[in-house]
Structure 1
Amino acid sequence: MYYNNAVQPLQGKDPMTSLPWYHKTAIYQIYPRSFYDSNDDGIGDLQGIIQKLNYLHELGFETLWISPFFSSPQADFGYDISDYTDIAPEYGTMTDALQLIDEVHRREMKIVFDMVMNHTSDQHPWFKESRSSRGNPKADWYLWRDKPNNWMSVTGGSGWHYAEERGQYYWASFLPFQPDLNYRNPEVKQTMLDVVRFWLDKGVDGFRLDIFNYIYKDREFRNNPLSFKLFPSEDDFSGFFQNPKYTVNLPESFEFAKEFRNTCEEFGGRLSIGEVSGGKNILRKFLGDETNNGLTLVFDFKMMNFKFTADYFRVLIREMETHYPKPFMPVYVFSNHDRHRSIYWLKGDMRKAKLLALLQLTARSVPCLYYGEEIGMNNSEFSVATALDPLAQKFWFIPRSLSKRIGMLVNRDEVRTPMQWDGTKNAGFSAAQRTWLPVHENFASINVERQSKDSGSLLNTIRAVMKIRKQEQALQEGSLELLENLPQGVLGYVRKFDNRQVIVLLNFEEQEKEFPFECYECLLKLSASDEAKEKAIRLDGFGGMVVTAGVVRL
C-alpha cells in the first residue's frame, strides 16, 4: 500500500461547511465484553476500553459506540437492562463510566451509548412491580392482556407470555425475558426520556437506539394480517406467515423519533442512530420527511448482505444518494454484533477487505466499523450445544448447512469473540485462565500487533485511509457523483467540496485494469502495482486508488 504523506489539510475558510459533526464522523463499535479485560476475569470492561483509547484515537475514528454495559442479568448480554442508571459490576462502576466519557473527550473524540428503550429485563424493578398485581402503581407500564392476540415475536412464536401473579399475558417483541414498555403511558415515556437526559447531562454525545421501530404497538391490539412468507427480510418484515402491520413501524414511532431528537437538542447537537428496518421510505420517516428533524441517522441493514461486485456497489451508492440526499446522511455498515463479520462474505480475502474498507471510508456516508473489522477478524464456529447466545439456544435445531445457505447467523457468539491484540495467550485480550468466549483459533496470524508491523496490512490501510479522510474535507462532507464509462468491474466516484475534487477508483475483479484517466496527484493506492500514469490509471487485481483532479473552477 502506498500513502502520500505530503497531502495537507485544506486551509482557510470553508464556505460550504454546514454539516453537523454527527453527519461527518466515523463510528467504531465496541462490544465491551470482548474488547479488553483489565482485571483478568475473562470479561472485557470499561477500564479495558480506557486503556485502549490511544489505539482507537490513532486508528482515526472520531466516535465510539459502546454496546450496553448497564446493570443487567446478562441473559442477552446487556440488551436486557435492569437499571438504566447503574453499571453492571463485571464492567465496572459509575466512576469508570464517567472516566471513560472524560478520557474520550480529552482525545477530542465522541462517545455514544447503546440505549435499549423498547424493553427492559424481566428482572427490572419496574417489571417486577408491574407483574405483581393488576392494581399497583406500575401495572400499566408494560403491555398486558387477559388473552393473547395473534402477534408473533421478532424471533418467531407468540410474543405473549403468561404471568401467574396477575393472571395476564405480557408482550415481548424479542425474547420472553425482555418485556416491552408501554409508551402509551405518558409516565413511561417521560421516565425513559429522563434516562436519556441523565446520560446526556453526564456528557454522553448521543445514542444508538436498539430496535427503535418496535416501540409503539397498535392501541387496539388488532390481529396482524396473514402473510405467506416464512422468513422476514430487510425490506419486508413479513415472516413466520404474518405481516406485522400492528407491531412495527407505526406512525407513533416516527413521531417519537422527533420527540427523542428534541430531547437530545436540549443539550446541543447530539447523535441519535436508529436500529430500524423496512424499505427505504420507512427508514426515511425515522429521519424526518423533508428536513432531518427526526433521528440524526439510521442503519440500512440491507447492505450487510452485500455482493462483492462493482455493479452491486454502484447500485447501492445510487440508492443511498437517492434516498438520503442532503440534509440527510446515509450510514455504511457491513457488520455488527448480530450479523456475520464482513470478512466472512469475502471468504477471508484480505485484498477484498482492503477494497471494501476503502469504499466504506470514502463514500458519502457516516461509516460504522465493528471492532476487529480493522484486522479482518472472522466468525468463529461454535456448537449450539455450548451457546451462550439465547437466540442460538432457541434455534438449536437449525443445521449449520441450512443457515449458511440462507445467510442466517444462528449463534451470535460466533461474531462476538475477544479482540485479537497480539499472538500471546488469549490474543492479549485477558490473562485469565478462561475467557467468556474462546478466542478465535487464528489469533496468532490475525492480530493488531502483527498487522501494525506490516505496512500493507488491512489495519495500516484503514489507518491511512482515515488519515486522508481527516485531511480531505471532500471525503467528510463533499457531494458524490458516480463516474461512468469505466471498465467492467471498476467502480469510481468523485467527492466534491468547494474547489476540491477527490476521486476514488476501485477494481472489484482479480484481473488488472488499465484505462485512460487524467488526475493530478495520487493520495493512496492499495497495491504497489496500482499506478497513476500521465494519462492513464492502472489498477491491480482488487486494487484501488484515491487521486485528486486538481482545482475545479466553480
Structure 2
Amino acid sequence: MTTQWWKESVIYQIYPRSFNDSNNDGIGDINGITEKLDYLKNLGIDVIWLSPVYESPNDDNGYDISDYSSIMKDFGTMKDWERMLEEVHSRGMKLIMDLVVNHTSDEHSWFIESRKSKDNPYRDYYIWRDKPNNWESAFSGSAWEYDENSEQYYLHLFSRKQPDLNWDNRAVREDLYSMIRWWLDKGIDGFRMDVINFISKDQTFPDGEIKQGKQYASGHQSFMNGPRVHEFLHEMKKQALADYDIMTVGEMPGVTPKEAKLYTAEEREELNMVFHFDHMDVDSGKDGKWDIKPWSLVELKTILSKWQTELENKGWNSLYWNNHDQPRVVSRFGNDGKYRTESAKMLATTLHMMKGNPYIYQGEEFGMTNVAFDSISDYRDIETLNMFHENITNGADEKALMKSIYQKSRDNARTPMQWDASPNAGFSNVEPWLKVNPNYTEINAAEALADPDSIYHYYQKLIGLRKKHPIIVHGTFILLEPNNEEVFAYTRNFNSEELLVASNFTDKEVSFRMPHRFSGATKLIGNYHDTNREKLRPYETYVFHADAK
C-alpha cells in the first residue's frame, strides 16, 4: 500500500442545513460554515465533507439535484462557496463535495426534456419502461412512477422526485464526467459519492425476489453492485478523476469486504475507500432498519474486525459511527444519560484507533444525542414520514412507530448544531427549519470548549495522536477476546511497535486483564485519569503504546 495524504486525514462531515445559520432565516448556510472554520481547525480535522449545496427543490434535503453547477439559494451563492473554499484552504484544510449521480431531481433540465416525449434526445438519460417490475423504493412503495404525458414508467430507487439516471447511455456518463471535472477545476479536493454502487442496473429488469422480511428493497440484487459498475467507475477514474490529487469515497449499501477490495484496490483504479453499512445494521431486525432488535457487541466486533482484516493491504477502510443518515452513536451504542461523556469518549477511541480514515459527524465531537419529538409533525425527513404514514394507513400502532422513529429516524442526526445555551442553541436567531434538541442548554460546543476534560478536547487528543504515531495510520489490526460480550479490545502492530486498545461497552465494572507484554507500556490516552490493569470501569477505554525495542 502506498502513502497518500488522504490516508492520514480525519474527515468532518457538515450537513449544511443544520450547521450554522448566518442570515437568520432558520436554515444553515455556506457563510455560516465559513464563520466556524476556526472551530474546525482548532479541533484538528484535515478534511471537510460537505453534504449537497447544489440547486435543489429539496425533496430529499438536497440529494435531489436540479442543477449541478449552481448553489441552492437557501445556502447562498457561488461567490459565497468560492470564498468558503478559499478560507478552508488558507487554514490548511481540504474540502470534498457530495457527488450525487445515481439520480437527479425531476426538476433537472435533463428530466424535464426526457419526459416530454419518447423520441426526445434526452429520453434515454433516464430509465423508462412500458410496464413496471416489482422493484421497491428505499423510501417506501414502488420504484416506478407513471408519467401520463409520455405513457411510460420511470425508475426512482428513492423519492419519485429522484429519477435514476441511465448510466448505460454513454452521453449521460460524458455529461457527468464533464461536470465532475468542472468542480475539480474549481479546486475541491475530492468527492463523497452517494449510493455510487447503484449506478449500474441489470438491463433485463427482472422482478426482485420476494422474501418474508427484508433488509433491502425488492430488486436490490439487480442494482446493488450491478453488472457494469466496475467498468463505469474505472472509466470515471480515467476520464474525470485521474488528473487530480484527490480523495474519493463511495457510499455503498450492501457492499461486502470482498467487493470493497475490488472497488478500492489501488491497481484497479476505481475509488480510494467505501462506506459500508454492515455495522449500522446490527440493531436491525429481519424487516429492516425500523424493525429494531437488541444489538450484540460480539456481532459488532466481528463485523468491524472482518472489514479490518479482509481489507488489510488490499483496500482501505472508512471508519464512522455517525452521519446524516444515522442516529447519534452515543444514544445508539453508548449511554446518553449518566455516562454520556465516558461512553462518547469510549466510542471515539474504539473507532479512531482502527485502521482507516475516521469520520466525525457534526456535533459528535461534543456528544450530541438522539431526540424524541412529541409529534410526527415535528419531523422533516422524507424517509421517516413515508414510513410512518404508510404504516399508519396499514393499521400500525402509532406509539410503536414513534418508538422506532426515536431510535432510527435520520432527523436524529439533523437537529441543528448545538453551539451554545442561547435560544435555538446559537444556531439561528429565529425558529430553525427543524426543532433543536431540548438538551442544548447542557450539551453544546461552548460548554465543551470551556471544559478541559470535555468530549471535544478528547477528540482533539485522538486526532493529535493520529498525526504523531504512524502506527495508528498503518498498523495491522488484531482482535482480542472475540467472544467477550462486554469488552472490545484489539492491538495494532507496525514495525516493532504495538498498541493495545480496550473499551468497556457496559455501564458496570468488568474484568479485563491487560496482556503481560504491555506491563511497561506508555498510556497514550484514556477516559479515566488512572488505570487498573485488571478491570475496566463503566464505559472505560484506554490505549497503551509499547515502544519499539
- Matched with 1:413 is 411
Aligned equivalents of 2:70 and 2:482: distance in 1? 57
Cα drift, residue 281 of structure 1: 4.5
1:384 matched to 2:376: yes
1:84-103 alignment, distance < 5 Å: 84-103=68-87
Distance 1:313 1:551, change over 3 A: farther
Which segments of 5 or more consecutive residues in structure 1 lack a partner in the other structure?
1-16
Aligned to 1:332: 319
Shift of 1:42: 1.1
Paired position in structure 2 for 1:481: 478
Query: Within the alignment, does 1:394 sit opposite 2:386 as a pair?
Result: yes
- Measured against aligned partners, the alpha-carbon deviations of 1:379-406 in whole angstroms (never above 9, x if no partner) come to 2223223432222332223456545777
Equivalence for 2:521:
520
Alignment deviations for residues 481-501 of structure 1 (CA, whole Å, 9 cap, x no partner): 334699884433332334433
Q: Cα deviations across residues 365-422 of structure 1 (Å, max 9, x unaligned)?
A: 2111211111111122232234322223322234565457778966433320110011
Equivalence map 1:185-264=2 (5 Å): 185-221=169-205, 223-232=206-215, 237=216, 239=217, 242-264=218-240
Distance in 1 (CA, whole Å) between partners of 2:503 and 2:408 is: 33
Q: Tell me if structure 2 keeps the 8 A contact 1:530–1:543.
A: no
Shift of 1:154: 2.3
- The residue type paired with residue 521 of structure 1 is T
User: Which of the numbers 494, 499, 512 marks the counterpart of 2:491?
Assistant: 494
The amino acid that maps onto 1:422 is D
| Partner Cα distance (1:373, 1:189) in 2 | 36
* Pair 1:77 & 2:53 matched: no
Query: What runs of 5+ residues in structure 2 fail to find an aligned partner?
Result: 284-294, 392-396
Distance 2:7 2:254 in 1: 22
1:396 aligned partner, one-letter code: F
Equivalent position of 1:26 in the other structure:
10
Partner of 1:364 in structure 2? 355
Taking a change above 3 Å as real, the CA distance of residues 437 and 269 of structure 1, as seen in their structure-2 partners, is: same
Which of 306-315 and 438-447 deviates more?
A: 306-315
1:418, 1:429 within 8 Å by CA — same for their partners in 2?
A: yes
**Residue 423 of structure 1 corresponds to which residue in structure 2?**
421
Partner of 2:365: 374
Q: Write the letter of the residue equivalent to 1:89.
A: K
Aligned residue identity for 2:459:
I
Distance change (3 Å), C-alpha of 1:172 and 1:408 = farther
Using a 3 Å threshold, how does the CA distance of structure 1 residues 291 and 401 change in structure 2: closer, same or farther?
farther
RMSD: 2.5
Q: Are residues 1:462 and 2:459 paired?
A: yes
The aligned amino acid for 2:420 is D
Please say which of residues 472-481 and 30-39 is displaced more in the overlay. 472-481
Query: For 1:487 and 1:392, how far apart are their aligned partners in 2?
Result: 35
Alignment-mate amino acid for residue 85 of structure 2? I
- 1:280-318 CA deviation, whole Å, 9 max, x = no partner? 146426515684532211112121245787634542342
CA displacement at 1:361 relative to structure 2: 0.9
Q: Go from structure 1 to structure 2 and tell me whether the alpha carbon gap of 1:255 and 1:208 turns closer, same or farther (over 3 Å shift).
A: same
Check 1:60–1:263 CA distance in 2 against 1; reply closer, same or farther (3 A cut). farther
Measured after TM superposition, the shift of residue 473 of structure 1 is: 1.4
CA distance in 1, matches of 2:534, 2:90: 42
Counterpart amino acid of residue 27 in structure 1 = I
Comparing both structures, which one devotes a greater share of its residues to helix? 2
Aligned residue for 2:388, secondary structure, equals: coil
- The TM-score normalised by the length of structure 1 is 0.88
Please say if residues 261 and 311 of structure 2, whose CA atoms lie closer than 8 Å, have aligned partners that are also in contact.
no
Taking the aligned partners of 1:412 and 1:319, their CA distance within structure 2 comes to 27
Aligned-residue sequence identity (percent) comes to 35
Corresponding residue for residue 318 of structure 1? 305
Alignment check: 8 A CA contact 1:403 1:409 kept = no
Q: 8, 20, 25: which is aligned to 1:36? A: 20
- C-alpha contact (below 8 Å) 1:153/1:175 kept by paired residues: yes
Distance 1:249 1:117 in 2: 15
Contact kept, 8 Å, 2:497 with 2:547, in 1: the verdict is yes
1:31–1:246 Cα change, 3 Å: same
**Is the CA contact (8 Å cut-off) linking 1:32 and 1:67 kept in structure 2?**
yes
- Paired residue for 2:277? 301
Within a 5 Å distance, the mapping from 1:271-290 to structure 2 comes to: 271-281=247-257, 283-284=259-260, 287-288=263-264
Supply the distance in 2 between the matched residues of 1:262 and 1:132 (Cα, whole angstroms): 34
- Number of positions where the alignment pairs a residue of Structure 1 with one of Structure 2: 523
Opposite residue 335 of structure 1, the aligned amino acid is N
Structure 1 residue matching 2:25: 3-state secondary structure: coil
Give, in angstroms, the shift of residue 539 of structure 1.
3.7
Work out the CA distance in 1 between the residues paired with 2:335 and 2:548.
40
CA distance in 2 between partners of 1:458 and 1:369 (Å): 12
Over 3 Å counting, the alpha-carbon distance change for 1:447 and 1:485 in structure 2 is closer
Q: CA separation of 1:519/1:310 partners in 2, compared to 1, >3 Å: closer, same or farther? A: farther
489-498 vs 399-408, which moves further? 399-408
